[in-house]
Structure 1
Amino acid sequence: MFFVLSKVLWFLAAPSNLLLLLVLAGAGLGLRWPHLGFGTCAAAGLMLLVGGVSPLASLVFGPLENRFPEFRDDGAPVAGIVVLGGAVETGLSSARDQLVVNDAGERMIALGDLARRHPQAVVVFSGGSGRLTGDGAVSESAIVRRHAASLGVSPERITYEDRSRNTRENAAFSAELVKPKPGQRWLLVTSAWHMPRAMGCFRKAGFAATAYPVDYRTGPGAVALHSTAGDGLFELDVAVREWLGLVAYRASGYTETVFPGP
C-alpha cells in the first residue's frame, strides 16, 4: 500500500505537476471569475518561472548532497559493495538491447570502477521494478545481468537483488541476501542527494555501511541559475521528492530520524 500511495500522491505533489494543475485551475476559474482566474494563472506561472530558472533547486539540493562527505579511501579492506538501482531505464534497455541509463548513471559507473578496484569484494546490485503494474515488468537487476560486461564486470561477479521496489526494500532485501558480518566494511553506492534516506534505511535494517555518494547535482556551495526552466523544474522535482520521502519514511518507521547523517 505504501508503494502505491507514494506513486499516486507524488504525481499530484510534484512541483511541476502541481503548478501546471494550478494554471489549468486558474483557466477554469476564469470562465466565471475572471480576476481570480487570471490571478491564479499569473501566480502559478510566476512560480513555474522562479522554480525553473532561479537557484531554488540548488538551494534545496545542497543540504541533501552535503549531508554525507565524499568517500576517501583510507586503505581499509572492503568486504562488499552495494549499488542501488534507479539508474537503469529498463524499458528502453529491453527495446534497444543495450544498457540505457538515466541522469543517475554515475551509480553504474561506480559499480564498474569499484568492482575493478576491489577484486575480492562482493558486489551487490539491488534493483527490482518500480512500476505500479509489476506483471511482466523487467527488473533493473535483469538488465544489469544481461549487460554487465559493458561495465567491464563479469555478470557472475555480481549478486543480484531483484525484488526491491523502493529504498526500504533495497536495504531489507540486501541485508537478507548477503548477511553482512560485524566489523566488515560495505560501501553503499547511490546518488548523493539520496544518501541520507538510503543510509537511514540500511541502519534500520541492521546493515552497517559506509556512504559512497555519486551523481552530484551541485558543486560545493554553488548556487547557479538554470539555462532552461525545464532543467530547473526537473531538479526541483527530484529534490522536493527526496525531502518528502525523508519525512514519509520517518513517519512510517523505515528510518530512525528524519534526516540521517554521518
Structure 2
Amino acid sequence: MFFVLSKVLWFLTAPSNLLLLLVVAGAGLSLRWRRLGAGLAALCGLVLLAGGVSPLASLVFGPLENRFPDFRNDGAPVAGIVVLGGAIETGLSAARGQLVVNDAGERMIALGDLARRYPAATVVFAGGSGRLTGDGAVSESAITRRHAASLGVPPERITYEDRSRNTHENATFSAELVKPKPGERWLLVTSAWHMPRAIGCFRRAGFTVTAYPVDYRTGPGALAIHATAGDGLFELDIAVREWLGLAAYRASGYTESVFPGP
C-alpha cells in the first residue's frame, strides 16, 4: 500500500505538476470569478517560472548532497559494494536491446569502476521494477545482467537483488541476500541527494555501509541558474520528492531519523 500511495501522491504533489494544475484551476475559476482565477493562474505561473530558472533547485539540493562526504580510499579492505537501481530505463533498454540509462547513470559507471578497482569484493546490484503494475515489467537487475559486459563486468560477477521496488526494500532485501558480517566494509553507491534516505534504510535493516555518493547536481557552494525552465523544474521536482520521501520514510518507521547523517 505504501508503494502505491507514494506513486499516486507524488504525481499530485510534484511542484511542476501541482503548479500546472493550479494554473489550469485558476483559468477555470476565472470563468466565474475573474479576478480570483486570473490572480491564481498568474501567481502560479510566476512561481513555475521562478522555480525553473532561479537557483531554488540548488538551494533545495544542497543540504541533501552535502550530507555525506565524498568517499576517500583509506586502504581498508572492501568486502562488498551495493549499487542501488534507479538509473536504468528498463522499457527502452528492453526495446532497443542495449543499456539505456537516465540522468542517474553515474550509478552504473560507478558499478563498473568499483568492480574493477576491488576485484575481490562482492558486487550487488539492487533493483527490481518500480512500475505500479508489475505484470510484464522488466526489472533493472534483469537489464543489468544482460548488459553487464558493456560496463566491463562479467555478468556472473554481480549478485542481483531483483525484488525491490523502493529504497526500503533495496536495503531489506540486500541484507537478507548477502548477510554481511560484523566489521566488514561495504560501499553503498547511489545519488548524493538520495544518500541520506538510503543510509537510513540500510541502518534500519542492520546493514552497516559506507557512503559512496555519485550523480551530483550541485557544485560546492554553487547556485545554478538554469538555461530553461524545464531543466530547473526537473531538478526541483527531484529535490522536493527526496525531502518528502525522508519525512514519509521516518513516519513509516523505515528510518530512525528524518535526516540521517554520517
> Fold conserved (TM > 0.5)?
yes
Partner of 1:162: 162
* Correspondence list, 1:21-40, <5 A: 21-40=21-40
- Equivalent-residue separation in structure 2 for 1:19 and 1:227 (angstroms): 20
Name the counterpart of 2:44. Answer: 44
- The Cα of 1:224 is off from its aligned counterpart by 1.6
Where does residue 118 of structure 1 map in the other structure?
118
Name the Cα RMSD after superposition: 0.3
CA offsets 1:3-44 (integer angstroms, 9 cap, x no match): 000000000000000000001000100000110111011000
Number of aligned residues: 262
- 1:80-123 CA distance string (max 9 Å, x none): 00000000000000000000000000000000000000000000
AA aligned to 1:156 is E
1-side partners of 2:45 and 2:166: how far apart?
A: 33
The amino acid across from 2:142 in the alignment is A
Rounded Cα–Cα distance in structure 2 between residues aligned with 1:195 and 1:90: 22
The 5 A counterparts of 1:1-262 are 1-262=1-262
Matches of 1:178 and 1:115 in 2, distance apart?
Answer: 17
Find the residue that maps to 1:81 and give its secondary structure: strand
Partners of 2:139 and 2:225 lie apart in 1 by 36
Regions of 4+ moved over 4 Å: none
SS at match of 1:82: strand
TM-score normalised by structure 1 residue count: 1.00
3-state SS of paired residue (1:159): strand
1-structure distance, mates of 2:65, 2:53: 20
Note the alpha carbon deviations across 1:167-222, whole angstroms, 9 max, x for none: 00000000000000000000000000000000000000000000000000000010
Q: Distance in 1 between matches of 2:196 and 2:120?
A: 27
Q: Secondary structure of the residue that 1:125 maps to in structure 2? A: strand
CA deviations over 1:117-143 (Å, ceiling 9, x no partner)? 000000000000000000110000000
Residue 213 of structure 1 aligns to a residue in which SS? strand
Indicate the SS of the match to 1:218. Answer: coil
1:34-92 deviation line (CA, Å, top 9, x unaligned) = 10111011000000011000000000000000000000000100000000000000000
- In structure 1, runs of 5+ residues without a counterpart are none
| Alignment partners' CA distance in 1, 2:217 and 2:196 | 15
Normalised by the length of structure 2, the TM-score is 1.00
Structure 2 regions of 5+ residues with no counterpart?
none
**Letter paired with 1:187:** L
Query: What SS does the corresponding residue of 1:108 show, helix, strand or coil?
Result: helix
